[in-house]
Structure 1
């Protein structure tokens, strides 16, 4: 499992290079990424369509939108085995991280649903699958989901749809429920870059 986490970190670092504006550099970067993933035994999708990678983000916190419609987000999805799925959704100055993890095979039940209760990730109290969501804007805010439910309502090569609702707050408010505010969000990712570590895409898509 430690090797899987290490490989996941390497892939996140490598695929972050997709944002290179120079097309020649991007082409070389994609070639290096593909070779690295092949050597590591990792399957990938949509790297060749990185220029079409776009996420539509609609998140309201305490009744107000967190991000403007003009922001351009891109999504990288990494799945490690059948117990972990991580989404990194970034724009130039904003970042959303969403992870689903399960004690057992969380892919057995579709759609994939994760929970968090009382600000703590306790799989035994969340039917085996938990979710972690953090949202941050440079020089702006940093919030985390402290109580709620998140659902991956659709996932395939062309589109991934994530929805969540509950209560969120600053990291320091984890033990102060009186400071938590209602949050709801929907993220539609078109042609996200996907990496599959020790799992087949056919086991994930629905």
Structure 2
């Protein structure tokens, strides 16, 4: 966990430096990041294109759009082995966390599809993969997908596309299905920063 936290902090520092005009400083920062990732045994993608990292978000909850089109979202993807893939998609005041977790053959079937049922589905019950989606906006809302499905319809170094639909609610509504509302979404991430822990990117991309 400490290693993953170190990776994320280092990457965020790099992203914040991308708007600086001093190219020499950028070069030094990039070198530090590469050494850090090598030390913890992590392969990475798109570090050098972090300034192009952008996500287009279309999410509705109970028929209402949750985000405006001008919000600036960026994506970091962490994959640990062949059993977990986590997307952190953040703007200045909002956060979207999407995780796919499954059995040892989760990556063998493309596209990757994760399911959730009453917020309690286990990988063995989903025939391989479970999805967890949490969407929150500071001083606004916090919803989680409680019953539904998500598909990684595209996954490569240039673009990641995630589509999902189902029923969602607040954490307090987890045991109150009568309060759940419909939620649908599509996220298109351009040049997301990617970290591969104990897995090769060639085993993931499609």
Aligned position for 1:7:
3
Cα shift at 1:119: 1.6
Contact 1:45 / 1:195 at 8 angstroms: preserved in 2? Answer: yes
Structure 2: which 5+ residue stretches go unaligned? none
Q: TM-score scaled to structure 2, two decimals? A: 0.93
Structure 2 distance, partners of 1:31, 1:172, is: 45
Distance change >3 Å, CA 32–CA 120, structure 1 → 2: same
Question: How does 1:146-161 map onto structure 2 within 5 Å?
Answer: 146-161=146-161
Q: Secondary structure at the match of 1:123?
A: coil
Q: TM-score scaled to structure 1, two decimals? A: 0.93
Aligned position for 2:116:
116
Aligned position for 1:88:
88
Distance change >3 Å, CA 6–CA 121, structure 1 → 2: farther
Matched, 1:200 2:196: no
Structure 2 distance, partners of 1:9, 1:114, is: 25
Structure 2 distance, partners of 1:12, 1:147, is: 30
Cα shift at 1:27: 4.7
Structure 2 distance, partners of 1:128, 1:187, is: 23
Structure 2 distance, partners of 1:44, 1:198, is: 11
Structure 1: which 5+ residue stretches go unaligned? none
Give the counterpart of 1:16 among 1, 12, 15. Answer: 12
Aligned position for 1:168:
168
**Count, aligned residues:** 202
Aligned position for 1:183:
183
Aligned position for 1:103:
103
Structure 2 distance, partners of 1:143, 1:18, is: 30
Cα shift at 1:185: 0.3
Cα shift at 1:19: 3.5
Q: Secondary structure at the match of 1:149?
A: strand
Distance change >3 Å, CA 89–CA 170, structure 1 → 2: same
Cα shift at 1:31: 2.7
CA RMSD of aligned residues (A): 1.5
Cα shift at 1:163: 0.4
Q: Secondary structure at the match of 2:6?
A: helix
